[in-house]
């Protein structure tokens, strides 16, 4: 009887600990919609002594195409020596789970070797993709807890991790597998129990919903920023980003150029061939502009057949060269039915203005670039005109 009571007390205590952990982690995840921070919170809870207490935890997410697992984050020591040092520091400072979760910024700025390694891993979701892929495809936990089972596994990723005994659990959201978590006790050699696996699985299901909510939030945010036809930034986002980039240019004493782009004689093309054909031209020109940019440049659809291109840290001459490259690529492109256009091709006109020499504020910079664009139209179209303070334009 007494033994039964003690067993019941132990189970009750464990349940209390589990609920407390889930509550604490849930509260932490509710404070952010940043996906990377959520992933950090999840793995911190899995590896912390005050949490599930695993030595290492790795998290992989299914990519957008649904055909592979991509390594996203890993937490854990790189060696037994490092493990001992870290655990001693945590014990000495009596760090709680909340304390460890609050170290996200430090973790992000100083990624571990294990974290960098995992972020370089991509695993095809095929039956020959290995044990991590199998866990994702089957949607079931996989336990490797003894030598006999481990000896039958031939998996490059597991070999790279030097893992012997471990557990892999799927991350699920709305009954769909969105990733997997790998966890082991490579340094402490503490046995992984059925209770550990049960709790890790329960925790992974809870975490999966938080990950999915973060993804949905960012997808919705992205849609609110982008033009539905072209996929590049819309007018509202352009206005915001130009303001931000001008602030950065002022703070760092750097130049910034703005190119306004307008499709020549677009009404003629639309009237003769219809709006669906016109939409295809707009989409293709957006693609050409986007693919002709540097990584730092910001293309946007300004409205109708007009585009804008923000060029941070770019002089007027550099902007002119970029503009000419884009103009030529558009005029040379074999658009369907281009021969109905007055110039026998789909072409664009461009106007360029530069901060700080032409304007110091957003509204004036747009006006100067628009004036240069207007001049390009009046001078015969299919050309790039740069604003000049002395000549009005040149």
- The catalytic residue positions are 305
Among 256, 261, 255, CA closest to 288: 261
Q: What is the SS3 assignment for 158?
A: helix
* Cα distance between residue 386 and residue 368, in whole Å: 9
What are the strands, taking DSSP E only, across 92-234?
Answer: 122-124, 142-144, 166-173, 176-184
Q: What is the SS3 assignment for 263?
A: strand
**Helix-helix angle 2-30:194-225, to 10 degrees:** 20
For the beta carbon of residue 382, count every other beta carbon within 10 angstroms: 21
* Cα distance between residue 314 and residue 322, in whole Å: 10
Residue 54 DSSP symbol: -
Going 14 to 94 to 59 to 31, the CA torsion angle's sign is positive
The full length of the chain comes to 394
Q: What is the SS3 assignment for 328?
A: helix
> Counting runs of H as helices and runs of E as strands, what totals does the chain give?
15, 12
Sequence-distant (≥ 6) Cβ neighbours of residue 185 within 8 angstroms: 54, 55, 165, 191, 192
Sequence-distant (≥ 6) Cβ neighbours of residue 67 within 8 angstroms: 124, 125
Q: What is the SS3 assignment for 134?
A: helix
Report yes or no: 310 and 245 within 8 Å, Cβ to Cβ: yes
Largest CA distance in the chain: 100
């Amino acid at each position: 009887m007494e033994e039964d009571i003690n067993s019941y007390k132990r189970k009750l205590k464990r349940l209390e600990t589990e609920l407390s952990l889930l509550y604490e982690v849930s509260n932490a995840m509710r404070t952010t919609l940043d996906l990377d921070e959520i992933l950090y919170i999840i793995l911190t809870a899995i590896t912390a002594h005050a949490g599930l207490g695993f030595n290492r935890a790795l998290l992989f997410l299914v990519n957008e195409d649904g055909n592979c697992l991509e390594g996203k984050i890993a937490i854990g020591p790189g060696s037994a020596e490092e493990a001992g040092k870290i655990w001693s520091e945590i014990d000495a400072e009596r760090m709680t789970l909340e304390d460890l979760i609050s170290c996200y910024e430090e973790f992000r700025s100083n990624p571990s070797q294990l974290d960098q390694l995992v972020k370089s891993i991509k695993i095809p979701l095929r039956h020959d993709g290995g044990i991590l892929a199998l866990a994702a495809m089957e949607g079931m936990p996989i336990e490797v807890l003894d030598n006999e089972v481990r000896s039958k596994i031939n998996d490059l990723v597991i070999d790279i991790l030097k893992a012997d005994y471990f557990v892999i659990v799927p991350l699920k959201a709305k009954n769909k597998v969105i990733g997997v978590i790998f966890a082991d006790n490579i340094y402490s050699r503490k046995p992984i129990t059925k209770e550990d696996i049960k709790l890790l699985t329960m925790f992974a299901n809870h975490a999966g919903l938080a990950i999915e909510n973060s993804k949905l939030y960012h997808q919705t945010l992205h849609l609110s920023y982008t033009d539905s036809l072209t996929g590049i930034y819309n007018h509202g986002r352009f206005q915001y980003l130009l303001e931000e980039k001008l602030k950065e240019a002022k703070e760092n004493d750097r130049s910034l150029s703005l190119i306004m782009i307008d499709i020549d004689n677009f009404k003629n093309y639309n009237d003769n061939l219809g709006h669906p054909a016109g939409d295809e031209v707009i989409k293709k020109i957006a693609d050409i502009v986007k693919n002709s940019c540097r990584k730092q440049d910001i293309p946007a659809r300004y409205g109708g057949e007009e585009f804008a291109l923000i060029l941070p840290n770019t002089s007027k001459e550099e902007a002119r060269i970029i503009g000419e490259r884009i103009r030529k690529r558009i005029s040379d492109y074999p658009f369907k039915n281009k021969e109905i256009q007055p110039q026998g091709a789909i072409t664009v006109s461009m106007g360029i203005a530069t901060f700080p020499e032409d304007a110091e504020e957003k509204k004036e910079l747009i006006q100067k670039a628009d004036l240069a664009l207007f001049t390009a139209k009046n001078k015969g179209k299919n050309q790039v005109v740069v604003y000049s303070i002395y000549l009005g334009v040149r």
